[in-house]
């Protein structure tokens, strides 16, 4: 396994992050334990979850599964544990978003479900335009002082949100954000305009979610009748991108590589990327993802991928002006 600093922080994480969103709804608890055990065996030390995962309001089903796995012992000290706050955890007004009240309560509940004394990386799952940064940072600083969280990250922030957050944190003499979890893959490259430049400038590590574009980049042209690729919405996307996917899968075949491995490898070649999130539902999907770590793409191969899936044209404003 390869390891890298998480943003500008001193902590090191594996180049692949284990996403747990499928644990519970798609993957049984027993199978989830097997996947997490195997991830640890493979050297993956970066585990990502969220209080809303499991999608039963207020239950934190996935966090509970991760917590019971950790309770077996010999695991907590080996991993960098990340979870998130923002989503609705109840029907009352202050049971969502990023008020100081909800941040504190949500953190306490995540700690209880995860069965741990501290969270390594506490991520804001979305920007909250209704809560001022002074309030957000005051709440996060207090949790750091109490030893309940060590680092703070963001998810689904715009570039200017990152800049605003970091400048306010700097004024408070606080470390601020060390990571940003964004939608990023060969198909969806919008963050190259402003999010990635902001992350690079502020030393914020990029953690791409949906690296395979919900299966679009995992050999989607191969006919299937079950699983994510059989989903009707995905079928519509396949038709939308069919010419590009045909070129992409032909290119992968010429390399002798699986499309999913090439897609992950492409992300690992992006300088701002720390660790793409893989969300295996089965053990074979986890094992298969390891190939991407050893897959070195040449400059010509990267250029060909850019030709098939062109991004926005680089960073703003040069991408659309001069």
- CATH code for residues 3-214+258-298: 3.20.20.100
Q: How far apart are CA 189 and CA 47, in angstroms?
A: 24
Classify residue 237 by its DSSP letter.
H
pLDDT digits (tens, 9 = 90+) for 28-85: 999 999 999 999 999 999 999 999 999 899 899 999 999 999 999 999 999 999 999 9
Q: How far apart are CA 302 and CA 305, in angstroms?
A: 5
Q: Supply the residues annotated as catalytic.
A: 53
CA 294 to chain centroid: 21
3-class DSSP assignment, residue 18: strand
Q: Burial of 274 by CB count in 10 Å (0-12 exposed, 13-18 middle, 19+ buried)?
A: buried
Q: How far apart are CA 123 and CA 176, in angstroms?
A: 11
| Mean pLDDT, all residues of the chain | 96
pLDDT digits (tens, 9 = 90+) for 108-154: 999 999 999 999 999 999 999 999 999 999 999 999 999 999 999 99
């Amino acid at each position: 396994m390869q390891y890298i600093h998480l943003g500008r922080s001193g902590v090191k994480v594996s180049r692949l992050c284990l996403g747990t969103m499928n644990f519970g709804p798609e993957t049984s608890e027993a199978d989830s334990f097997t996947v997490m055990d195997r991830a640890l065996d493979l050297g993956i030390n970066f585990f990502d979850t969220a209080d809303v995962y499991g999608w039963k309001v207020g239950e934190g089903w996935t966090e509970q599964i991760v917590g019971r796995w950790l309770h077996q012992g010999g695991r907590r000290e080996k991993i960098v544990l990340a979870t998130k706050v923002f989503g609705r955890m109840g029907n009352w007004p202050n049971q969502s978003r990023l008020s100081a009240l909800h941040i504190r309560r949500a953190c306490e509940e995540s700690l209880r479900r995860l069965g741990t004394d501290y969270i390594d990386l506490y991520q804001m799952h979305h920007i909250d335009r209704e809560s001022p940064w002074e309030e957000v940072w005051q709440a996060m600083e207090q949790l750091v002082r109490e030893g309940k969280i060590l680092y703070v990250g963001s998810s689904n922030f715009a570039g200017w949100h990152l800049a605003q957050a970091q400048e306010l944190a700097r004024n408070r003499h606080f470390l601020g954000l060390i990571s940003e979890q964004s939608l990023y893959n060969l198909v969806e490259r919008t963050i190259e305009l402003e999010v990635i430049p902001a992350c690079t400038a502020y030393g914020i590590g990029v953690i791409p979610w949906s690296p395979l574009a919900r299966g679009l980049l995992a050999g989607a042209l191969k006919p299937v009748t079950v699983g994510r690729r059989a989903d009707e919405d995905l079928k519509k996307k396949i038709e939308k991108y069919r010419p590009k996917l045909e070129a992409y899968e032909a290119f992968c075949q010429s390399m002798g590589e699986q499309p999913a491995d090439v897609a992950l490898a492409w992300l690992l070649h992006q300088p701002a990327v720390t660790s793409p999130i893989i969300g295996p539902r089965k053990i074979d999907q986890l094992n298969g993802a390891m190939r991407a770590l050893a897959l070195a793409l040449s400059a010509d191969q990267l250029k060909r991928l850019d030709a098939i899936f062109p991004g926005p044209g680089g960073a703003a404003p040069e991408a659309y002006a001069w």
